Amino acid sequence: MELTMSTLLIYALHGLVYGMLLFLVASGLTLVFGMMDVLNIAHAAFYMLGAYFGYTVVLATGNFWLALIAAPIAVGLLGALVERYFLKKVHIHGHAFELLITFGVFFVIGEVVKWVWGNFPRPMDVPSALAGSIKFIGLTYPFYRFFILFFALLVLAVLAYVFFKTRLGMTIRAAVSDTQMLSALGINVPRLFLYVFSGGAALAGLAGVVAAPFLSTYPGMGLDMMVDIFVVVVIGGFGSIMGAFLASLMIGELQSFGILFIPQLALVFQFLLMALVLISRPTGLFGEKV
């Protein structure tokens, strides 16, 4: 393949788009971990459910925007149920069981998806309003990918606003650094956990809907996403939104250019990067907690 400037730019854009998608999913995961000390393996399953719910809503109503609202709400509610009835129950038994229960939920959701939607891909059309491609500085690029990019940036902006400018955000940040102190100050920490867990699930669901027309919906999409976001949080450092953001972009670009230059080894790169980070900075680039 001839390496022109435009090819490089296209691949850089590919990486950016996928990186932003990764960030949408990883941000919820890293927040929940920072606060509750729980690695939610089911998080990737929430992403997958979001995509499938979105698919079904679009199939039934033909309205992508409705799917963009309804699917995350449904996934968020499911997340609340998981937190309230599963996670909380095993909390006293320690870390391992929290991991195991979220793993069990991941497994069961995966089976339910195969059951309800079939064990094969369900391609979702790009909504007509966002179809087509646009031309700029001499190259054409699918419009929908730009939409993902800007939508993710919008979500990021909203998140940043909530996080840094509102009382809820302040409480969440406080909870990440010291839940016990927060509880002593009279904040209802269990309820806060419930909100954040549910919110993280909804965010993953939202990412799922946005991803569906781009990456298609298929039963293995949860697992594929899980591995990538795990690599992201390890590199970025658990609990760090900033770390998740930078690591997401890094992995996105790495995968994109990896496929361009050495397709056979594309997958190896991110693991090499992860191993490198682990050796040199075991807590990740922005992580403080061990």
Partner 1 sequence: MRNSTPLRIVIGIAVIVLLLFAPRVLTIVQIRMANEIAYFALFAVSYNFLFGYAGLLSFGHASYFGLGAYTTALSLKHVAGMPLLASIALGGLVGAAGGAIIGFFCVRRKGAYFALLTLAFNQFLWATAWKWHKVTGGEDGIGKFVPKSPLNLGIATLDHNQVEGMYYLTLTVVLLCLAAGWYLTKTPFGNTIKAIKVNEERADFLGYQVNRSKLLIFTIAAFFAAIAGSLFALFQDFVATSSIDLGMSTQVLFMAFLGGTGSFFGPILGAVIYVYFTDWVSSLTNRWEFILGVLFILLVLYFHRGFIGLIPTKVKAIFVTQKGS
CA torsion sign, 160 to 166 to 167 to 168? negative
N-to-C CA span, the chain: 44
Place of tokens 């050796």: 279
Distance CA(176)–CA(127), nearest Å, equals: 38
Which CB atom, from 107 or from 164, has the smaller least distance to partner 1?
Answer: 107
Residues 226-245: x where in contact with partner 1 by CB under 8 A, - otherwise, as a string: xx--xx-xx---x-------
Told to check if 279 binds partner 1 by CB under 8 A, we report yes
CB-based contact 42:179 (threshold 8 Å): no
Which CB atom, from 134 or from 267, has the smaller least distance to partner 1?
Answer: 267
- Residue 74 burial (CB count, 10 A): 19
Told to check if 274 binds partner 1 by CB under 8 A, we report yes
Which CB atom, from 111 or from 178, has the smaller least distance to partner 1?
Answer: 111
Structure tokens at 187: 């904040």
Q: How far is CA 236 from the centre of its chain?
A: 14
The nearest distance, CB 220 to partner 1, in angstroms, is 10
Told to check if 65 binds partner 1 by CB under 8 A, we report no
Residues 188-227: x where in contact with partner 1 by CB under 8 A, - otherwise, as a string: -----------------------------------x--xx
Residues 6+ apart with CB under 8 A from 14: 145, 252, 256
Which CB atom, from 181 or from 275, has the smaller least distance to partner 1?
Answer: 275
Q: Which of 4, 59, 62, 115 binds partner 1 (CB under 8 A)?
A: 115
Distance CA(250)–CA(4), nearest Å, equals: 22
CB-based contact 208:78 (threshold 8 Å): no
Told to check if 25 binds partner 1 by CB under 8 A, we report no
Place of tokens 């919110």: 199
The nearest distance, CB 288 to partner 1, in angstroms, is 14
List contacts with partner 1 (CB under 8 A): 33, 37-39, 41, 86, 89-90, 93, 95-97, 99-101, 103-105, 107-108, 111-112, 115, 223, 226-227, 230-231, 233-234, 238, 264, 267-268, 271, 274-275, 278-279, 282, 290
